[in-house]
Amino acid sequence: MGPDDTFSVQGNGSTDVRVRTRPRTDVSAISISPNATIEQAIACIDLSGSLSIALIVDDDGRLLNTITDGDVRRGLLAGLALADSVSVLIAIKSSMPHPLPVTAPPGADADTLLHLMSARAVRQIPIVKEDGQVLDVVTFDDLHPDHQPPALQAVVMAGGFGTRLAPLTEHTPKPMLPVDGRPLIEHVVEQLRATGVKKINISTHYRAEQIMGHFGDGSDFGVDISYIQEDTPLGTAGALGLMSVPNEPVLVINGDVLTDIDFQAMHCYHQKLGAVMTVAVRRYAVQVPYGVIESEGADIQRLREKPQLDFFVNAGIYLLEPEVYRHITVGKHLNMTDLIETLIAQGQRVVSFPVREYWLDIGQPADYERAQTDAKNGKHRARVAPV
């Protein structure tokens, strides 16, 4: 492999970096036009793997801007649809403090690149020639190949009775119901492990022995599992008071959620926004079957015929900083919604993280049937890392 086919960058001695040499990025594979849709941008970002970026280029391949996972999620929060043009995302970026992409010229050393990443809070920088052509994309992991992602542990809430799924749950806790031949909660554990989460706490109550008997200490599944036993149900947040106050952020996920969400992307989003709590949200549309009248007093101002109303709903996945635990009293019932309202009332920053990946809350028999169908058809693409 010749020098034009590999990526390599050097430090100037003031920064302790060990840079790996890897194949140069195929920039054409992660480049799209400004007329592409947001859905195409997402596909491009996913295709880029660890680069997590889409390059917006003109007809001659010159860089116009970049789109990252965070840009897409902020666009979704702003009400954009997947079919909207990526140019709308660029317009949103134009009103932000740093509307233009962070780039570096060929030959930039590691110290310069790391300084740029730190100053602009980015983890990837396109290497751009004078004519605007992108030569490569350098990531933080390229400069620090031994870097480990920030520590993150998880709590899986698996203590519910699952009464809405009766009679399936008469003798089996809902998280242990099979999906594609394996318990639902096993899919959750594998998804956590695949994204680097090794320490998992499982909150149990109803038929806890089945969950504990299946997972044990977690070693057979490549993780370290502890159990939080609720003698009486304490709510979606109250169970957290039964565990030791952590030293790192905690990811909390309902045990009946099937998802492909990128937990590390959620963690990076959480850190970048400086939140004490991040709540995963999902867009939910309601079709009103009637004409909606908008009035001012007795006077009709507007008539909307069978409108569709869009909302963001709670997706049952949360990321909490350790300081949140001081609002949780040991042994006291507390719902996550109440905890969120308490934090907001005290002026703490709680942010939304829109889920663009596959997500299914298995609360009703129809949801369970859909989970089976989706798994069979490959719609749910859980990341399974080797144990």
> How confident is the prediction for the chain on average, in pLDDT?
89
Does pLDDT of 48 surpass 60? yes
Q: What is the pLDDT of residue 22?
A: 60
Q: Name which of 44-48, 58-62, 144-148, 234-238 the model is least confident about.
A: 144-148
Task: Report pLDDT digits (tens) over 263-306.
Answer: 989 998 999 899 999 999 999 999 999 999 999 999 999 999 99
Does pLDDT of 10 surpass 70? no
What's the rounded Cα separation, in Å, for the pair 148 and 151? 8
> If 0-12 CB within 10 Å is exposed, 13-18 middle and 19+ buried, where does residue 70 land?
middle
Does pLDDT of 253 surpass 50? yes
Q: What percent of the chain is predicted at pLDDT more than 70?
A: 91
- Dihedral, 297, 302, 306, 309 alpha carbons, nearest 10: -80
Does pLDDT of 21 surpass 60? no
Give the predicted TM-score (pTM) of the model: 0.85
Sheet with 277-287, strands from edge to edge, namely: 224-229, 199-204, 153-158, 250-254, 308-320, 277-287, 350-354
Does pLDDT of 190 surpass 50? yes
Does pLDDT of 97 surpass 80? no
Predicted confidence band at 17 (pLDDT cuts at 50, 70, 90)? Answer: very low
Question: Do strands 257-259 and 359-361 pair parallel, antiparallel, or not at all (unpaired)?
Answer: antiparallel
Q: What is the pLDDT of residue 11?
A: 52
Does residue 136 sit in helix, strand or coil? Answer: strand
Q: How many CB atoms lie within 10 A of CB 25?
A: 24
CB 184 within 8 A of CB 169: no
Beta-strand (E) ranges in the chain? 6-7, 22-23, 31-32, 53-57, 63-68, 124-128, 134-139, 153-158, 178-179, 182-183, 199-204, 224-229, 250-254, 257-259, 277-287, 291-296, 299-305, 308-320, 350-354, 359-361
Predicted confidence band at 16 (pLDDT cuts at 50, 70, 90)? Answer: very low
